[in-house]
């Protein structure tokens, strides 16, 4: 019983170290979540973006982080956005595309 309380105390003191890749993946997840909320289902061509979102969620589910795969998905998002017919929706999606690029450039602050 005492061993459990000691291990809990020790674990509380330890912080999980986040890497640049971990920060980038977390940032991309937030952008994808936000983007999926702003999609209007009744727009011509939005099915391409929905397919991209499904592929992206599969990539995010993977444990490892391969930057080239994320860069390729950004290129594919650009292609999917160009197929959306509504100009206003395309503009909103383009903002997410820019945010996605910024997320891939994030670095963990070093003290």
Give the Cα separation of 104 and 21 in Å (integer). Answer: 8
In a domain, 11, yes or no: no
User: Would you state the pLDDT for residue 14?
Assistant: 53
In a domain, 63, yes or no: yes
In a domain, 46, yes or no: yes
- What's the pLDDT tens digit per position in 16-71? 778 889 999 999 999 999 999 988 888 999 999 999 999 999 999 999 989 999 99
In a domain, 1, yes or no: no
Asked whether the beta carbons of 74 and 97 are under 8 A apart, the reply is yes
| Domains contained in the chain, number | 1
User: Would you state the pLDDT for residue 71?
Assistant: 95
In a domain, 9, yes or no: no
In a domain, 66, yes or no: yes
Q: What's the predicted TM-score (pTM) here? A: 0.79
**If pLDDT is split at 50, 70 and 90, which confidence band does 9 have?**
very low
Q: Which domain holds residue 47?
A: 21-104
Q: How far is CA 89 from the centre of its chain?
A: 19
SS (H, E, C) 18-76: CCHHHHHHHHHHHHHHHHHHHCCCCCCCHHHHHHHHHHHHHHHHCCCCCHHHHHHHHHH
Give the Cα separation of 55 and 80 in Å (integer). Answer: 12
**If pLDDT is split at 50, 70 and 90, which confidence band does 15 have?**
low
In a domain, 89, yes or no: yes
């Amino acid at each position: 019983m005492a061993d459990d309380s000691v291990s809990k105390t020790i674990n509380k003191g330890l912080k999980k170290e986040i890497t640049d890749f971990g920060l980038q993946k977390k940032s991309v997840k937030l952008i994808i979540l936000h983007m999926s909320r702003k999609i209007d289902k009744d727009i011509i061509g939005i099915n391409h973006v929905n397919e991209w979102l499904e592929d992206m969620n599969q990539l995010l589910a993977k444990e490892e982080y391969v930057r080239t795969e994320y860069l390729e998905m950004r290129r594919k998002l650009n292609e999917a956005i160009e197929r959306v017919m509504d100009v206003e929706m395309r503009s909103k999606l383009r903002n997410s595309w820019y945010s996605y690029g910024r997320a891939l450039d994030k670095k963990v602050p070093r003290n």
